[in-house]
Amino acid sequence: MTEIEIEQEKKEILRQYRKLLRHAKPFLQGDDAKLIKRAFNMSQEAHKNMRRRSGEPYIFHPLAVAQICVEEIGLGTTSIIAALLHDVVEDTEMEIEDIERPFGKKIARIIDGLTKISGVFDYGTSQQAENFRKMLLTLSDDVRVILVKLADRLHNMRTLDSMPKNKQLKVSSETIYLYAPLAHRLGLYAIKSELEDLFLKYREPEKYIEIVRKINATKAPRDRFVRNFISPIQKELNKHNFKFNIKGRPKSIYSIWNKMTKQEIPFEKVYDLFAIRIILDLPPELEKAGCWQVYSIVTDYYQPNPDRLRDWISTPKSNGYESLHTTVMSKTGTWVEVQIRNKRMDEIAEKGYAAHWKYKENENSSESGLEAWIGRVREILERENASAIEFVDDFKHSLFNEEIFVFTPKGELKKLPGDATALDFAFEIHSEVGAKCIGAKVNQKLVPINYKLKTGDQVEILTSNKQRPNEGWLSFVITSKALTRIKDELKEQKKSAALDGKEIVLRKLKQAKLEMNSEIMDKLLGYFNLKSALDFYYLVGKGKIDPKEIKKIKNFEDKPRKQASQNVSDIESFQRKIKTATGEKRDQLLIGEDMDIVPYSLAPCCNPIPGDAVFGFVATHEGLKIHRINCPNATELLSRHGNRVVKAKWTSQTEVSFLTGLKIKGTDRVGMMNDVTRIISNELKVNMRSISIESDNGIFDGSIQLYVNDTKHLATLTKKLENIEGVEEVARFDVS
């Protein structure tokens, strides 16, 4: 680099540092500014020879994270220092003790929570899950560790362009799986929406660009519509001397894509593309009445949809969110969501947890929804015998989006996630009540334990001392508390049955004049095709393995069980294996950093075809599996086991056929079926595996399974089918 470029970098670092201090100035006290300066100098010195993948000095990252903490989350001095130093222990020679001496235990503990676990992990475990659990352990003491981590993740997502594709997939999948729901749970709606949009940018880049282009193209008519819509409301609010601000807020790119995908509709048919937000400026004692008065004004001009009224002012969400939502019909026949809230509510909605604490002194409640949720996280953390992956699964369940409000027989209000069952409610009351639950009375009517509750239900739980949890319960409970308690009880039951089974096994071996040792156990596991001694003893104890069979191992020669990737615990070792691997030319897929040709199999969950954006995943016993990037299982695989993801890319194709499916919808007419099959079989010479078309009142709906060469071949076929008279929609689906 030239001296001029180095000088420019120094000026930019200084500019960003001064910007950080400007935003922090309103709440700085005593020696805060000196402490921030010391943290900045320490971070700059520690990272002085480091650069990010983009080529810029590494110090830009901690500065940006600190700026997000202050400007976008509303955090103070402690979080700024933690943000500036969050990577020094992980990336440099510095130790936690070096931070504790000048800055104290509190900041050192936050940074320790943000520092990834180092070392080698056993195969079958997940380093990502272990790191996430470590971070959450700190959450129960200080929520700022999560807020700084979210700021760190947001900046990493904003600068993900410079990373390789497989790294983009891993980071964005982790983000949508855990960090975006966590931002939502902590009330950080602006950050949650941006994380979701950035996930889509890297997961479905073409869809993302298409939606952005269409949003921009419709901006002028949308702005005109908003002006016309709010004009009479503004006049009426002014007449009543309200201080207010009205915004027209477009839906996030991710939520538009989500609606298009779930409802299988094009962009043009997503009608609620934006919401109107009315923000009042009222003293706390008048805000509730004021919001309802504004609701009355809005519904005087526009007809409301009675099923779409959401009152989160009387009963706020667990993350502190308060607002009044209604959906009304505009004069042009379009549904419009209107959100009504006070300035305080808006700040909590945008900045979540940090703003919630700012206003907490004005609240009368002894425990907020957020504090109650953190209490539930502590319960999950107390499960010492749970694996990290189990922990992450249970934690994920606690990040529910929608809530229902139900009542105990005495009228006490309980908040539960949407789709919660009577059994979830029982565990919410008490673990013992849940474990003994045999049914419930909902609004005085007897219902089974898997009955899904609705807002307003009054629930009474029925119990029996003879009842015990079973495996089937896990299929319909959704709260982390219920899942945790059931799993713990099942483990205890399994251990008890295994002890009984072990006694039976030892007795049978003695009769066969055999002594239990590792060699005998390997033979037993090989004979019964099981993975662990605990599983074997359990099945014997439950009577699912006939004890008489045990004697047969005397004559059993244990053949080595096939474990295609037994010794592959990370990508580095997999890349080394690639060097010696061979494969046939027809595989036509390049794998790994060096783009070698190696054996693989196509994942049946998404059936990728040549031309699809794909990634390789090293499966435990099945070698390399190829998945589509938008595979339904991709997010979970990438977020849990990103260290087992391999680059994969199709090369130019020969004529090899791959099975895929097409859904086709439209208006029925005579000859429709003939036209569809003519295009497929005669014009494009495509072989069909099956075709099924049903017609009902002039509308037909069909599915076709067929063999194509690649995505271009499929696109040509789709376009030709769409051009058939009466065909409204053609969409790909995964063949299982």
- In sequence order, which residues have a C-beta less than 8 Å from that of residue 375 and are 6 or more positions away? none
Active-site residue, selected from the candidate residues 9, 12, 56, 91: 91
Q: In angstroms, rounded to a whole number, what is the distance separating the alpha carbons of residues 498 and 538?
A: 4
The Cα 118–Cα 602 span in angstroms is 33
Q: What is each CA distance from 509 to 288, 503, 512, 523, 539, in whole angstroms?
A: 75, 10, 5, 12, 16
**3-state class of 666 per DSSP?**
strand
* CA separation for the pair 655, 236 (Å, rounded): 68
Instruction: For residue 342, give the nearest of 326, 360, 357, 322 by alpha carbon.
Output: 322
Check: CB of residue 96 under 8 Å from CB of residue 112.
yes
- Cα distance between the two ends of the chain: 55
Asked if 91 is an active-site residue, the reply is: yes
Options 7, 31, 45, 90, the catalytic residue: 90
In angstroms, rounded to a whole number, what is the distance separating the alpha carbons of residues 67 and 64?
Answer: 5
Any bridge partners for residue 248, and if so which?
276
Scan for tokens 């009517």, then name that residue. Answer: 445
Question: Which of helix, strand or coil describes residue 458?
Answer: strand
The rounded distance, in Å, linking the Cα atoms of 438 and 447 is: 10
90 in catalytic set: yes
Tokens of 77: 């001095």
| Best CA proximity match to 321, nearest among 187, 455, 413 | 187
The amino acid at 96: I
- The full 3-state SS of 571-604, as one line of letters, equals HHHHHHHHHHCCCCHHHCEEECCCCECCCCEECC
CA distance linking residue 81 with residue 15, whole number of Å: 18
Provide the annotated active-site residues: 90-91
